[in-house]
């Protein structure tokens, strides 16, 4: 769950014209070892380093959780498929930053339950897929 994509915000009087100016690739914080960066373009503010779940077995700071494939998951829900089926068909396991009451996530992420004693840190926008009023088509 480490940050791997940073930049500066250029604000505008019209908030629709606000822009983020990313640092050069060489100046971005690297992910450690074999971890990869899930960037802002796929929904991870400031980027989020993830690894395969095997990495979580030897690192107490990591836990294995599911990351929904944004497009596939949303398309599945829009097609009115059962939520559990959309998760099963469109989420992939990944080692992410572990979290608990004693080890919170960074400020812009939430701790999501995993079924084990610890959770994983995810961006809060994943909660929008849990709408109670249905999912837009």
Domain boundaries, the chain: 7-130
Query: Is the pTM above the cut of 0.75?
Result: no
Alpha helix (H) residue ranges in 1-137: 70-78, 83-90
Identify the band that residue 134 occupies on the pLDDT scale cut at 50, 70 and 90.
low
pLDDT above 90: percentage of residues in the chain: 32
**pLDDT score recorded for residue 105:** 92
CA–CA separation, 26 vs 64, rounded Å? 29
- At residue 109, the pLDDT reads 87
- Distance CA(105)–CA(1), nearest Å, equals 8
The string of pLDDT tens digits covering residues 59-117 is 999 999 988 887 888 899 889 999 889 888 998 899 999 999 899 998 888 898 887 78
Please check whether residue 65 is in contact with residue 34, taking contact to mean a CB–CB distance below 8 angstroms: no
């Amino acid at each position: 769950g480490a940050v791997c994509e940073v930049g500066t915000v250029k604000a505008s009087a019209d908030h629709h014209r606000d822009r983020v100016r990313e640092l050069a690739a060489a100046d971005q914080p690297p992910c450690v070892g074999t971890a990869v960066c899930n960037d802002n373009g796929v929904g991870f503010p400031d980027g989020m380093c993830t690894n395969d779940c095997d990495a979580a077995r030897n690192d107490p700071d990591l836990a294995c959780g599911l990351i929904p494939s944004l497009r596939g998951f949303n398309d599945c829900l829009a097609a009115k498929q059962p939520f559990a089926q959309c998760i099963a068909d469109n989420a992939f396991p990944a080692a992410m930053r572990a979290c608990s009451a004693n080890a919170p996530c960074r400020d812009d992420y939430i701790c999501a339950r995993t079924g084990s004693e610890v959770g994983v840190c995810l961006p809060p926008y994943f909660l929008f897929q849990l709408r109670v009023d249905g999912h837009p088509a």
